[in-house]
């Protein structure tokens, strides 16, 4: 279930770190923790699911919608002129939870940023967004990177694969199947029920996680359009919980593509051009 949050700057501050996704994720956890400490700690430490070896988070969020900010590339900062900013968040929960979640986030005051640069916001509006009409085959556009990682016995750190890697599609499909099977009691799906077709071009992009700490690292994924064939409930999971690894850190947010082939090519070119300016 998706929600659109309207955020208003409550002070004159305008500067926010480019890698703000980590701070949004931390804020969402904080809101959940205030509402239900045990539930929030479970999400943070373990994720959501019935499997013991691979557990998943059940929320995701979009980029901030703040128009055309001024980019201070060397300092890795955005200067935002917009007073009102939109953020979408999604939870892989039933419709019955919508009023509860709206109540959690409505009128929240929070600071987004690090100890040097950030903005104070107030949530002034929370709207429930309608689901698309799901079908067996859907076309999607990634708004935040799809992360597929692989770590062999020889690797000290995980490798973040690109769609050109032979393992990318195989591991992406495996992740979707495991994510579904570990968080549902409604039946098991197998990897053969999922087909993924990736459109070119793709763009490498990523975020800094835990900035300014000993655990600081850069997680890298890819932006592209894709066609996914899968059971309808898998599409609903992708829509509500993100398609990627690390969805609760802001990766794998998708939008449904409803354009002709020629329009998709034009829009994709413009989107990747814009990403070059802000990544």
What secondary structure letter does DSSP report for 136? S
Q: Do domains 2-129 and 137-278 have the same CATH topology?
A: yes
- Parse the chain into domains and list their residue ranges: 2-129, 137-278
What is d(CA 113, CA 16) in angstroms, rounded to the nearest whole number?
6
Question: Which architecture characterizes domain 2-129 according to CATH?
Answer: 2-Layer Sandwich (3.30)
By the 8 A CB rule, do 134 and 238 touch?
no
Q: Output the pLDDT for position 46.
A: 67
By the 8 A CB rule, do 4 and 121 touch?
no
What is d(CA 242, CA 86) in angstroms, rounded to the nearest whole number?
18
Q: Other C-beta atoms within 10 Å of 279: how many?
A: 15
Closest to 243 measured CA to CA, from 134, 143, 128, 93? 143
Q: At what angle do helices 232-241 and 166-183 cross, to 10 degrees?
A: 90
Q: Output the pLDDT for position 50.
A: 62
What secondary structure letter does DSSP report for 93? -
Question: 93 CB contacts (<8 Å, ≥6 apart)?
Answer: 1, 58, 101, 240
By the 8 A CB rule, do 50 and 182 touch?
yes
Question: Which architecture characterizes domain 137-278 according to CATH?
Answer: 2-Layer Sandwich (3.30)
Q: Output the pLDDT for position 75.
A: 86
Tokens of 92: 């892989």
The DSSP-derived string for 202-254 is -EEEEEEESTTSTT-EEEEEEE-EEEEE--HHHHHHHHHH-SSTTGGGT---E
Predicted TM-score (pTM) of this structure: 0.85
Q: Output the pLDDT for position 263.
A: 47
Question: pLDDT averaged over consecutive 10-residue blocks of the chain (279 residues)?
Answer: 94 90 93 79 69 66 88 88 93 81 90 93 95 96 95 85 94 94 84 94 91 88 96 95 92 85 49 47
Residue tagged 């354009």 (tokens):
259
Q: Output the pLDDT for position 86.
A: 96
Q: For every residue of 172-202, which 3-state class applies, written as one string? A: HHHHHHHHHHHHCCCCCCCHHHCEEEECCCC
By the 8 A CB rule, do 213 and 184 touch?
no
């Amino acid at each position: 279930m998706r929600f659109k949050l309207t955020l208003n700057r409550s002070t004159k501050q305008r500067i926010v770190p480019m890698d703000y996704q980590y701070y949004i994720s931390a804020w969402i956890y904080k809101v959940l923790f205030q509402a239900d400490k045990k539930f929030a700690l479970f999400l943070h430490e373990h994720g959501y699911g019935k499997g013991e070896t691979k557990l998943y988070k059940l929320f995701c969020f979009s980029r901030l919608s703040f128009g055309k900010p001024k980019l201070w590339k060397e300092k890795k900062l955005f200067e935002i002129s917009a007073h009102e900013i939109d953020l979408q968040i999604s939870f892989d929960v039933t419709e019955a939870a919508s009023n509860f979640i709206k109540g959690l986030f409505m009128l929240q005051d929070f600071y987004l940023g690090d100890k040097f640069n950030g903005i104070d916001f107030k949530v002034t509006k929370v709207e429930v967004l309608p689901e698309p009409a799901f079908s067996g085959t859907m076309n999607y556009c990634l708004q935040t990177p799809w992360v597929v990682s692989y770590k062999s016995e020889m690797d000290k750190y995980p490798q973040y694969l690109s769609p050109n890697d032979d393992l990318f599609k195989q591991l992406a499909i495996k992740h979707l199947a495991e994510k579904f099977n570990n968080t549902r009691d409604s039946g098991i799906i197998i990897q053969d029920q999922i087909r993924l077709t990736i459109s070119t071009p793709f763009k490498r992009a990523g975020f800094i996680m835990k900035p300014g700490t000993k655990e600081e690292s850069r997680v890298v994924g890819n932006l592209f359009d894709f066609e996914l064939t899968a059971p309808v409930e898998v599409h609903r999971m992708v829509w509500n919980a993100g398609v990627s690894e690390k969805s609760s850190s802001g990766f794998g947010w998708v939008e449904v593509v409803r354009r002709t082939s020629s329009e998709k090519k034009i829009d994709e070119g413009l989107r990747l051009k814009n990403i070059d300016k802000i990544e």
